């Protein structure tokens, strides 16, 4: 039995085979591996995006905590950053004393974060209550000040002469920061 296939059909079949082989090769060699890569990358991207969102939330939480702390402790932060001004200190606290003298400010201790300056103070008060009021006012002043021992009270006629040491604390945020202005103030 003789099978007769026209030349036209042979061309058609060859072309069909060629195209089919090309499509299959293209699909298996390029398209499918690329598709797999795409799927892998998409999963990875989703994972990374989720991680980023989590980290952004954490960042926001830390930021909120910082803002809260800053607003809650605004006075303390400002007080630690403030440079001690003997004139202003005297002006703010002169009501408690009949006379107030501050000695020169000297640097006494210096750790990584805080610097302490010492200032000797002599004053005259009419009643011990003035001194109590002064100690209350020191806690609300523009600087972080601790009143240190020894404290001496001496009767002088109707007045009480007192002498004590104050420690002024500053934050050492900048190592190149300038020292507080040091001047003898006497009234």
Partner 1 sequence: MKYSYITPRKKSAFTTEVQLLILFFSITLGMLFITYLFLLFKDYSFIEDMNDIALTQSELSVEVSQMKEQIEFIEKENLLAQKIYTQNTVLKDSITNLFDLVPQRITLSEANLLENGLILYGITPNKDVYNFMLQAPLRSIFHRTYSSFHPADNGWLRFVSTNYIDEELSLSQEIESED
Q: Which residues bind partner 1 (CB under 8 A)?
A: 8, 11-12, 15-16, 19, 22-23, 26-27, 30-31, 34-35, 37-38, 41-42, 44-45, 48-49, 51-52, 55-56, 58-59, 62-63, 65-66, 69-70, 73, 76-77, 79-80, 113-114, 128, 131-132, 135-136, 138-139, 144-147, 149-155, 169, 171
Backbone angles phi, psi at 156, to 5 degrees: -140, 90
In the numeric block, the tokens 């090769």 are attached to 25
Q: In this structure, what are the phi and psi dihedrals at residue 115, rounded to the nearest 5 degrees?
A: -115, 135
Q: How far is the CB of 30 from partner 1 (least distance, A)?
A: 6
What is the nearest approach in angstroms of partner 1 to the Cβ of residue 40? 9
Query: What SS3 state is found at 80?
Result: helix
**CB atoms near residue 42 (< 10 Å):** 10
In the bound state with partner 1, the residue whose beta carbon lies nearer, of 127 and 184, is 127
β-partners of residue 115 are 110, 170
Task: Give 15 or 99: the residue with its C-beta nearer to partner 1.
Answer: 15
Q: For partner 1, which is the closer residue by CB, 91 or 129?
A: 129
**Euclidean distance between CA atoms 32 and 85, whole angstroms:** 76
Rg (the chain; Cα; Å): 41
- Nearest approach in angstroms of CB 187 to partner 1 is 23
CB of 64 to partner 1, least distance (A): 10
For the bound state, the minimum distance from the C-beta of residue 67 to partner 1, rounded and expressed in Å, comes to 10
Return the DSSP state at 112: S
């Amino acid at each position: 039995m003789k099978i007769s296939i026209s030349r036209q059909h042979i061309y058609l079949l060859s072309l069909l085979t060629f195209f089919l082989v090309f499509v299959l090769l293209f699909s298996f060699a390029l398209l499918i591996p690329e598709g797999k890569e795409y799927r892998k990358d998409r999963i990875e991207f989703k994972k990374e995006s989720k991680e980023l969102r989590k980290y952004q939330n954490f960042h926001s939480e830390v930021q909120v905590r910082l803002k809260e702390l800053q607003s809650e402790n605004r006075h303390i932060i400002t007080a630690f950053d403030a440079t001690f001004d003997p004139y202003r200190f005297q002006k703010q606290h002169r009501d408690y004393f009949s006379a107030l003298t501050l000695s020169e400010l000297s640097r006494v201790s210096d750790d990584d974060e805080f610097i302490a300056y010492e200032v000797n103070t002599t004053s005259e008060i009419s009643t011990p209550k003035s001194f109590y009021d002064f100690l209350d006012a020191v806690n609300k002043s523009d600087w972080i000040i601790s009143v240190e021992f020894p404290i001496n009270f001496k009767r002088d006629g109707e007045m009480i002469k007192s002498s004590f040491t104050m420690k002024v604390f500053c934050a050492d945020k900048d190592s190149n920061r300038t020292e507080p202005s040091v001047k003898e103030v006497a009234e």
